[in-house]
Amino acid sequence: MKNILVTGGAGFIGSAFVRQMIARHPELNIIVLDLLTYAGNLNNLLAVSDEPNYRFVQGDIASRSDCAVVLKEYAIDTVVNFAAESHVDRSILEPDAFIRSNTLGVNVLLDEACRAGIGRFLQVSTDEVYGDVAPGAFSVEDDPMLPNSPYSASKAGAELLVRAWRVTHGLDTVITRGSNTFGPYQYPEKLMPFFITEAIDGRPLPLYGDGQQQRDWLYVDDHARGIACALFHGESGRVYNIAGEHQARNVEVTHQILDLLERPASLVRHVPDREGHDLRYAMRCERLKALGWQCEHNFEEAAASTVRWYQENEWWWRPIKSGDWRDWYQRQYADRLAAADG
């Protein structure tokens, strides 16, 4: 491996992966290809923008020419694909963009990468492909994929394409399935950055339904290290779960955020639930641990430092919470909050 293409590297997890790779692997060239959708942000890559082994190219994984040009120009030998539409609520309202980037885009990227004769292709996937997990149970890699949202269905579709390229064309592929990730530079539509930034401003926190849904929470640096571990040491054709092994209910996470910010519980509003809401995700990740990876951050400390980061970095999120974000807020929450208040 020498020239690594990181698609979607201007997003939340992709940019953490890029910052880590640049810091730890000066011998590798990191080329980011990112469309810069509403969620892509070059401020996430400011820390590496002057590094000699980093390049940024704006482009679309669903465009054959964008992929072919970057693969050839930078003699890419490895692809790590983060590029995706990533928010479940948006996939319920606007599924087309998810199928386009997450499924069709992966088809184009796989095909062009294969034609360019690359070595390894790593697809970043999610625990949501397993679907809802019964209380007490934990998903392992060989469990069936039973996705329930347009987002998770589009990611499961991508995984099947990755499998097909391996079997049909002999491409060296690895898939990672990470759990709910949190940390600095996360677009403030996902639960933690949304609630942290809203609570800082003393605004209502719209908790879906009874708030009893459970997620496994994984700190972003642990997720990025897990992807690097699977990239360097993973067995070809395998899937690797990456979990923080910290399951918590949404209502608990919400109150932890409020306590850290010293904001009142009265900010919580129980609003009408998300359609098709998966109640629980939980995974075991012994397969990745066997490669030497382990989670280094405990949830309480990582949540506290994440809250502090949003308190200290308003320059990053305040400009985002205008324009496109406001339109999204109106569409997703105006009626729900009105129903809760009524």
Task: Please list the active-site residues.
Answer: 127-128, 151
Which backbone phi and psi does 12 adopt, to 5 degrees? -65, -65
Q: Is residue 207 involved in binding ligand TYD (CB under 6 A)?
A: yes
Q: Which long-range contacts (CB under 8 A, 24 or more apart) does 158-164 make?
A: 158/102, 158/103, 158/106, 158/123, 158/125, 159/123, 159/125, 159/129, 159/239, 161/103, 161/106, 161/107, 161/110, 162/106, 162/110, 162/121, 162/123
Measured distance CA(20)–CA(16) in Å, rounded: 6
Q: Please identify which residue in 206, 226, 234, 244 interacts with ligand TYD, judged by CB under 6 A.
A: 206
Task: CB nearer to ligand NAD: give 28 or 104.
Answer: 104
Under the binding rule (CB under 6 A), the answer on residue 217 touching ligand NAD is: no
Which residue from 7, 180, 181, 256 is in contact with ligand TYD, where contact means CB under 6 A?
180
Q: Are 218 and 266 in contact (CB under 8 A)?
A: no
Q: Are 140 and 284 contacting, i.e. CB atoms less than 8 angstroms apart?
A: yes
* 119 DSSP 8-state letter: S
Interaction between residue 124 and ligand NAD (CB under 6 A): yes
* Residue with smaller CB distance to ligand NAD, 29 or 176: 176
Q: How far is Cα 48 from Cα 50, in angstroms, rounded to an integer?
A: 6
Cβ-based nearer residue to ligand TYD, 123 or 180: 180
Whichever of 180 and 306 has its CB closer to ligand NAD, that residue is: 180
- Closest by CA position to 91, among listed 248, 264, 276, 270: 276
Residues 20, 30, 40, 258: which binds ligand NAD (CB under 6 A)?
A: 40
Stretch that binds ligand NAD, among 56-64, 199-207, 251-259, 324-332 (CB under 6 A): 56-64
| Residue of 288, 303, 159 whose CA lies nearest to 223 | 288
The residue written with tokens 């951050």 in the block is 297
- Cβ nearer to ligand TYD, comparing 129 with 191: 191
* Distance in Å, CB of 160 to ligand NAD, minimum: 15
**DSSP string covering 65-124:** HHHHHHHHHTT--EEEE--S---HHHHHH-THHHIIIIIIHHHHHHHHHHHTT-SEEEEE
Residues between 255 and 314 that touch ligand TYD (CB under 6 A): 274
Token pair 């820390």 is found at 47
Question: Are the C-beta atoms of 80 and 88 separated by less than 8 Å?
Answer: no
Is residue 244 a contact point for ligand TYD (CB under 6 A)?
no
Q: Does 217 bind ligand TYD (CB under 6 A)?
A: no
Stretch that binds ligand TYD, among 98-106, 111-119, 205-213, 218-226 (CB under 6 A): 205-213
| Binder of residue 34, out of ligand TYD, ligand NAD, none (CB less than 5 to 8 A by kind) | ligand NAD
- Of 74 and 187, the one with the shorter C-beta distance to ligand NAD is 187
In this chain, which of 20, 29, 37, 197 binds ligand NAD, going by CB under 6 A? 37
Tokens coding 245? 């092994």
Q: Using the rule CB under 6 A, is 213 a contact of ligand TYD?
A: yes
Contact in structure between 77 and 3 (CB atoms under 8 Å): yes
Interface contacts to ligand NAD, rule CB under 6 A: 7-8, 10-14, 34-37, 39-40, 60-62, 82-86, 101, 105, 124, 126, 155, 178, 180-181, 187
Interface contacts to ligand TYD, rule CB under 6 A: 88, 128, 180, 190-191, 194, 206-208, 213, 215, 250, 274
